[in-house]
């Protein structure tokens, strides 16, 4: 089974936009015709995220934002319209290279892209808003929970965050197929060929997070104000979790 980091670098090199948003319109052979739709989807998502946050927690300081798992900048660039500066982190160097190219084409100058690691060492300091959308479910839970804790640690007092993760698949049968594709040689190749993708296209690893453990973890970090919004993403039930750090904004 390919590690999630290696899989994402492979997406970054060969199919970066599909790797960010798994829609046939955004595959490598289709993205040129649908690039505007791709970035429009990011603007819509960021508007929704910030509106939902504002409905529950009110306004935000708009100095610094962090986009963890930024990919090619789908959400980073809309965040850059809302905040004075944005840091985008991603594990794939090829994704970051494409994001930097997009920043030049879109004339966005208040974004800094950097390589992600589990310590978030390339995002020093605090942030008024921390965002991670359609990212954590691709990271194993034992690794993702500490990353989530560090993301929340990055939020300044009075600041906010939005994180998104999968909490289960639709059925036992679906989970069994997923397991087979990742553990039985040849199954993933057959699935790729059947769906019209390259035979060696990487799998999008999916991991279901325990919501109770996340709540306990947040409370342990002093965050008691948060709310969840359930979303259906294809076969997966997912959760968007919004929260506010206690204390006055700096």
Q: What is the pLDDT of residue 191?
A: 59
pLDDT in tens, 141-189: 999 999 999 999 999 999 999 999 998 766 677 667 666 666 777 765 6
3-state secondary structure the chain: CCCHHHHHHHHHHHCHHHHHCCCHHHCCCCHHHHHHHHHHHHHHHHHHHHHHHHHHHCCCCCCEEEEECCCCCCCHHHHHHHCCEEEEEECCHHHHHHHHHHHHHHCCCCEEEEECCCCCCCCCCCEEEEEECCCHHHCCHHHHHHHHHHHHHCEEEEEEEEEEEEEEECCHHHHHHHHHHHHCCCHHHHHHHHCCCCCCCCCCCCCECCHHHHHHHHHHCCCCCEEEEEEEECCEEEEEEEEECCCCCC
pTM of full prediction above 0.75: yes
Point out the residues of the chain with pLDDT beneath 50: 1-2, 249-250
Q: What's the domain count of the chain?
A: 1
Query: Distance between CA 21 and CA 33 in Å, rounded?
Result: 15
Q: Given this model, what pLDDT does residue 7 score?
A: 83
Residue 1: the pLDDT is: 41
Q: In this predicted structure, what is the pLDDT of residue 85? A: 98
Say if 93 falls within a structural domain.
yes
pLDDT for position 200: 61
Predicted confidence at residue 204, as pLDDT, reads: 63
* CATH number of 234's domain: 3.40.50.150
In a domain, 199, yes or no: no
pLDDT per residue as tens digits for the range 210-220: 999 999 999 99
d(CA 46, CA 74) in angstroms, rounded, equals 9
The verdict on residue 201 lying in a domain is no
pLDDT of residue 250: 42
Q: Is residue 182 part of a domain?
A: no
Its domain, for residue 232, covers: 4-170+206-244
Whether 20 is covered by a domain: the verdict is: yes
Q: Is residue 216 part of a domain?
A: yes
Q: How far is CA 117 from CA 123, 151, 215, in A?
A: 10, 12, 23
Predicted local distance difference test score (pLDDT) of residue 178: 65
pLDDT score of 205: 73
pLDDT for residue 170 = 62
Task: Decide if 73 is inside a domain.
Answer: yes
């Amino acid at each position: 089974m390919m590690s999630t980091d290696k899989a994402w670098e492979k997406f970054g090199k060969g199919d970066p936009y599909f790797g960010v948003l798994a829609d046939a319109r955004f595959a490598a052979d289709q993205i040129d015709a649908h690039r505007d739709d791709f970035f429009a989807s990011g603007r819509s998502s960021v508007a929704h995220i910030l509106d939902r946050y504002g409905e529950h927690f009110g306004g935000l300081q708009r100095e610094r934002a962090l986009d963890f798992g930024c990919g090619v900048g789908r959400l980073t660039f809309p965040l850059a319209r809302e905040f004075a500066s944005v840091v985008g982190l991603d594990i794939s160097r090829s994704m970051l290279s494409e994001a930097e190219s997009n920043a030049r084409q879109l004339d966005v100058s208040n974004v800094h892209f950097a390589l992600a690691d589990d310590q978030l060492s390339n995002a020093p300091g605090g942030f008024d808003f921390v965002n991670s959308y359609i990212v954590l479910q691709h990271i194993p839970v034992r690794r993702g929970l500490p990353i989530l804790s560090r993301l929340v640690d990055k939020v300044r007092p009075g600041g906010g965050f939005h994180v998104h993760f999968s909490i289960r698949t639709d059925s036992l049968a679906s989970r069994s197929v997923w397991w087979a594709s990742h553990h039985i040689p040849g199954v993933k190749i057959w699935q790729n060929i059947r769906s019209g993708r390259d035979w060696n296209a990487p799998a999008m690893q999916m991991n279901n997070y325990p919501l109770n453990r996340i709540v306990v973890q947040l409370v342990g970090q002093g965050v008691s104000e948060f709310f969840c919004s359930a979303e259906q993403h294809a076969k997966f039930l997912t959760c968007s979790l919004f929260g506010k750090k206690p204390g006055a904004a700096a």
